[in-house]
Amino acid sequence: MSNKGFSLVELLVVVAIIGVLAGVGVVGYDRYVENTKRKVLEQMHNNIVRAVETEFTILSNQLGSAMRERDNAGNWIQRAADGTPTTAGITEATASKVGEYTTCYNFVWSLKKHFESNENGFENPWIKGKKAITIDTEGRANHKQGHIQMYCYLTNGGFGSGSGCAISSGAAAARVHTYFTDRGSQGTGPNPKEMVAYIGGGNFSTNWPQKKSDCGWADSSASTDPVYGAWKVTNSILSEADY
């Protein structure tokens, strides 16, 4: 019986083969994890877009929403018969449902809070502890992987324009901009760097007084309204999403 063992060269070859196989496995696993994160973010994007489209349809047809209205500070809002908002002492139970006087800006905030109350909290798939949804008007260059940017937008008015437009009017418009890479870059193909959805915007007039009138404003020359708030709101990426 031969007791001859493996030579050093043979052992080195075996170790090298194992190393190659392990490397292939790690690369394959990393790719799987990355693709899973992309799919999670894409699903978040699609869920938000469907919700915006559904609510816009519900409100423009006066069908009645089930979602309660909130502002950018997270306060619950109660509306008087004439639409005047109140936040002091208002709870979820006493808050008004998103409805006739809800502006685009309050709507996107209400939707953000609604989604983040879910079990997964709409957390950024790439950064644990950071939220995916950020309501801001910053440009593409400032956004990072995993951000879902929401903002109001009316043609020729810039990001944040039409924030004070009632979504029940049918003239309001919102954008949902999702980034799969830092800074994004619009493109097509199986793995786009970003996804953009534009919802609403029935009024594309460049006549601003007419736009405000279409959105329910009594004084179309004003920049703020006691019922609808500011016409244009701009703000930075939320700290809870930035990293």
- Domain assignment present for 37: yes
3-state helix, strand, coil in the chain (%, to 5): 35, 15, 50
- Specify the DSSP class assigned to residue 103: B
pLDDT at 158: 83
Dist CA 149 CA 218 (whole Å)? 30
- Domain assignment present for 243: no
pLDDT at 64: 83
Dist CA 120 CA 123 (whole Å)? 7
- Specify the DSSP class assigned to residue 220: T
- Domain assignment present for 4: no
User: DSSP readout, 153-199?
Assistant: B-TTS-BTBTTTSBGGGT--EEEEEEESSTT-----SSS-SEEEEEE
Whether the Cβ atoms of residue 18 and residue 26 lie closer than 8 Å to each other: no
- Domain assignment present for 76: no
pTM: 0.83
Other beta carbons less than 10 A from residue 91's beta carbon = 9
- Domain assignment present for 20: yes
User: Which residues lie below 8 Å from residue 225, measured CB to CB, with a gap of 6+?
Assistant: 164, 217, 218, 219, 231
Tens of each residue's pLDDT in the chain, 243 residues: 556 666 767 677 777 778 777 666 656 677 888 999 999 999 999 999 999 999 888 887 778 888 999 999 999 999 999 999 999 999 999 999 999 999 999 999 999 999 898 767 899 999 999 999 999 999 988 999 999 999 999 877 789 999 999 998 888 999 999 999 987 655 445 556 889 999 987 655 667 788 899 898 999 899 999 999 999 999 999 999 999
pLDDT at 107: 95
- Domain assignment present for 242: no
- Domain assignment present for 184: yes
Checking DSSP bridges between strand 85-86 and strand 78-79, what pairing results, if any?
Answer: antiparallel
Range of the domain at 184: 9-63+100-230
How many domains does the chain contain in total? 1
Whether the Cβ atoms of residue 135 and residue 150 lie closer than 8 Å to each other: yes
Dist CA 16 CA 157 (whole Å)? 61
- Domain assignment present for 128: yes
**108: enclosing H helix or E strand:** helix 104-116
Other beta carbons less than 10 A from residue 56's beta carbon = 22
Whether the Cβ atoms of residue 166 and residue 103 lie closer than 8 Å to each other: yes
